[in-house]
Chain A
């Protein structure tokens, strides 16, 4: 049975951490019906040469349990979009709702805790903690969010590593494994707290074709289990497995591509 973000919040999903300040929920009549909804999002970066716009009034809606592939050329605004959805960066204007949470309105600490419980991120360059082994890289996410009983965490981390096919490297540090294996560990980490939404930035860039197939199968399984998946990619094969595909150009979703699927 699928559980919506709204239900998770109402079921006291956050109650395990007293440190977390409850974000303000939308009034019932304003509730979005999408897993991810973006309204008129703009973002520009200040440089010595002046402000450079990255997103120019971008709109996007993604249903629960969808797998969206976001395509676009380098500099089109794909990574900026991911940073906005994950709350890593803040928009100049516009609104972002993920699982009905107004991400644009959360402060840094609210965002951190919300991400930990509701959003799994797979970074382009893995961003694993270099000093600890893969198991600990996964359990630290549960540890910070006080998710699962301490004795269950290691077991779950091992299960996730098995899922991504690198269980035999569980006790190695990131520098001791290949780029592809690090990418898989990053995916396992993104699943640590069993979040309803997973966002990935070029998650398959370092994978060989065999592993790529396995990861895409995993993605499909996750989507099949009700997870919402948003992937920024250049890879046509990834895009082909998505339920929805859009392209960003000059900071906007290109209209003719919107809604098309492979």
Chain B
């Protein structure tokens, strides 16, 4: 190839300085890959997850109805406001696992599996519809319980009988929460199978898709009320509750769209940060290249090169490296997207069709890959090519007058300090702009790393908040209710149980002044001075035993009913009876839906279920919680005792199980945040490695002098490694100083988007310490390689170094 001499020089410089060129290329590639990964993940997630979700015609709302027969849905569908209506039967039973454990199985029956109108299923394997005595399992249930087509499932019905169901096939229901998140198995059966199981053949739920304004919650709720009033209740059926599916409460949105948006927000912040960090690294590395080239710049100027020619030369150099980095970033970004999407798809149960690159992503990476390095390198290039020929050739880029800074002056005054440490410390502060850039990169990377940990810690704190409302070892539902005294007495007969508390629970609705009703609210009637709840009041006060017609609402309710506030009155409708209540307090977020607390007597007066309770919550030792196994034992004893005394055949739930299920929903957030923290650590490490390499390069001659006067290999290593560690520790201190505000901002953003609540921030000291260990290790590792190379040079080689 007949390149002109100047371009030949640039090509050879890239090839001959492989380490430095690779550092620039990798820096650019990693930064761009992060951008590509994130943007591609967002794009594919929207295409596949949200696309697949929309394609199954997700219900705008669900109505739980007293038992009805097929045909009612046709009347509903005849309304012009309703596009589609789907009758469903929901029945929860227990299944026996191979290890003897019981699990809840939510069985869904529809009139015609060949014509599911709303929340359509995708068939994965086996039969397309369940046979008599057969079941189609949702794929996350099948995978988690290790069940395949043809396997037999043992189902336990209330009457104590066991039935065997054959797994006819595996289906994918994108509208359902995966087994690992819900903790509930999901299967589809025919009505004839339910009859075979001894159940009455009726439907109890309807899924509806509105005709217009499908994403307008107000409109959807209006249609829901019209359906209730005009068709369902007027035909003699009772509406138990109306629900808009999903965490966001927005019709048409995927159930975890809030959490996904939280993750995407974090990723997008990191993507922007990655670009800034990479720009900082490119500045440092290009500065390094130019420092190495100062003499050559001087030579070229001495033989006639103008500043413009040299600027063009090094701009092409940077563009060349940027282009290589960009090309590498394409497969790397694609791989990253694949990893993220695979993780997300497995966790939230959707299919990734193809992981590909679009022209827009390619253009984005290419644009950034060429402009960011060029923009970042412009300053060092202009600075490097402005140097005078004399300084370049005879001073090798260093000013002839050495300016001693404050730190150096202080170091010189420290007389008792070890000379090698003194040398390391002095070297650290010698090139202050470079130190500044390195510290900037490491500090930002460190602060974000710590912020990621603080965000996770804050999310965990929100989950911990939940524990205030689950302050029991085990609880068991009593469908239909039972006498409070009997229930508590039977629970306390179990030797391990010290405290038992019966709660009355009912569904209620706030009736607004315009006659509209709210979504379903769980209304809890509490005994006096309850011990299985430790509420945190964000406003107002908690209930007093003497309170009458007073309620405390939770923040979850306020999110849906913003007009409710302490001091206001609300018209509460329970079981057809309405009563005005004073709101006296607001309890913190439960993350389990809208809830309202009142004294037990008031609720039972409204429901007419005097002395009846719907759930009992027990504690082995008041003030403390048992271990996982202790809670499991108590739960089992409670089930057995209540079954024996015919109080309830329901399955108990332990505190541990509730937390395990809830926490798992946030594990994906942790994994992604940790991945992001890892990328930041890599970028920070590259920055420090580049700086140390440059520092050593500049001091090759000094190292030669040290070796010539008797410094050992180890002493040289010690000087360099101490320098790297010093930079690391300084950056750690700076990161620590800004980690609190940065962590708070990130945590607030993540929690607000993913949980829809204002977070109570919790700073992560673990993150602070982990980053200290990582950054010191990075400092040692990144300085070891250049130190080893420098220390291995012979004195003659070093002193001849040009």
Where the two chains meet, the residues of A that have a C-beta atom closer than 8 Å to any C-beta of B are: 19-20, 45-48, 83, 86-89, 108-109, 111-113, 115-117, 121, 123, 125, 127-132, 136-137, 139-141, 143-145, 150, 153, 189, 192-193
Contacts and interface: CB of A to CB of B under 8 A. Distances in A.
Given A108-B301, A112-B301, A141-B304, 18 more contacts: A19-B309, A46-B400, A47-B400, A48-B401, A83-B390, A88-B302, A88-B390, A88-B393, A89-B389, A112-B304, A121-B302, A130-B802, A136-B8, A137-B5, A139-B4, A140-B5, A140-B300, A141-B303
A98 to B, nearest CB: 14
A21 B5 CA distance: 24
B417 to A, nearest CB: 23
A19 B309 CA distance: 9
A196 B309 CA distance: 24
A262 B305 CA distance: 38
Contacts of B159: none
B122 interface: no
**7 nearest A-B pairs in the assembled complex, by CB-CB distance:** A116-B304, A140-B5, A131-B12, A136-B5, A89-B390, A144-B305, A139-B5
B477 to A, nearest CB: 79
B796 interface: no
B304 A193 contact: yes
A140 B12 contact: no
Contacts of A48: 401-402
A112 B5 contact: no
A115 to B, nearest CB: 6
B306 A144 contact: yes
B241 interface: no
Given A112-B306, A115-B304, A144-B306, A131 B299 contact: no
Contact of B13 (A86, A123, A131): A131
B6 interface: yes
Contacts of A88: 302, 388-390, 393
A45 B305 CA distance: 26
A200 B313 CA distance: 28
Contacts of A139: 4-5
Most buried by A among B388, B389, B393, B402: B389
Contact of A115 (B13, B296, B302): B302
A230 B185 CA distance: 95
Contacts of B298: 127
B644 interface: no
B304 A19 contact: no
Contacts of A140: 5-6, 9, 300, 303
Contacts of A143: 4-6
Contacts of A108: 301, 307, 388-389
Interface string B62-100: 000000000000000000000000000000000000000
A143 B8 CA distance: 12
B514 interface: no
B401 A112 contact: no
Interface of B: 4-6, 8-9, 12-13, 16, 295-296, 298-309, 388-390, 393-394, 400-402, 802
A68 to B, nearest CB: 20
A89 to B, nearest CB: 4
Contact of A109 (B300, B302, B307, B802): B307
Contacts of B305: 112, 116, 144
Contacts of B301: 108, 112
Quick one: which of B8, B307, B308 has the most chain A CB within 10 A? B8
Contacts of B304: 112-113, 115-117, 141, 144-145, 193
Contact of B6 (A86, A121, A125, A144): A144
A46 B391 CA distance: 13
Contacts of A89: 388-390
A83 to B, nearest CB: 6
Given A108-B388, A143-B6, A121 B402 contact: no
A131 B9 contact: yes
Contacts of A117: 304
Nearest to B295: A127
A152 B6 CA distance: 16
Contact of B296 (A125, A129, A189): A129
Contacts of A145: 304
Contacts of A112: 301-302, 304-307, 389
A129 B306 contact: no
Most buried by A among B5, B9, B308: B5
A129 B401 contact: no
Contacts of A130: 296, 802
Contact of A129 (B299, B308, B309): B299
A17 B67 CA distance: 93
A45 B306 contact: no
Nearest to B402: A48
For A87, A123, A129, the residue with the greatest tally of chain B CB atoms inside 10 Å of its CB is: A129
Contacts of B307: 108-109, 112
Contacts of B295: 127
B678 to A, nearest CB: 36
Contact of B306 (A109, A123, A128, A192): A109
Contact of B16 (A121, A123, A131): A131
23 contacts: A19-B308, A47-B400, A89-B388, A108-B301, A109-B306, A112-B302, A112-B306, A113-B304, A115-B302, A123-B302, A127-B295, A127-B298, A127-B299, A128-B299, A129-B9, A131-B9, A132-B5, A136-B5, A136-B8, A139-B5, A140-B300, A143-B4, A143-B6
Nearest to B303: A141
Contacts of A47: 400-401
Contacts of A136: 5, 8-9
Nearest to B305: A144
A184 B441 CA distance: 47
Contacts of B5: 132, 136-137, 139-140, 143, 153
B492 to A, nearest CB: 87
Nearest to B386: A108
Nearest to A141: B303
A127 B301 CA distance: 12
A128 B296 CA distance: 8
A125 B306 CA distance: 22
Contact of A144 (B13, B300, B394): B300
A127 B4 contact: no
A140 B13 CA distance: 15
Nearest to A120: B303
Contact of B302 (A46, A86, A131): A86
B384 to A, nearest CB: 13
Contacts of B306: 19-20, 109, 112-113, 144
B390 to A, nearest CB: 4
Q: Which of A123, A131, A139: most chain B Cβ within 10 A?
A: A131
A229 B168 CA distance: 100
Contacts of A153: 5
B300 A129 contact: yes
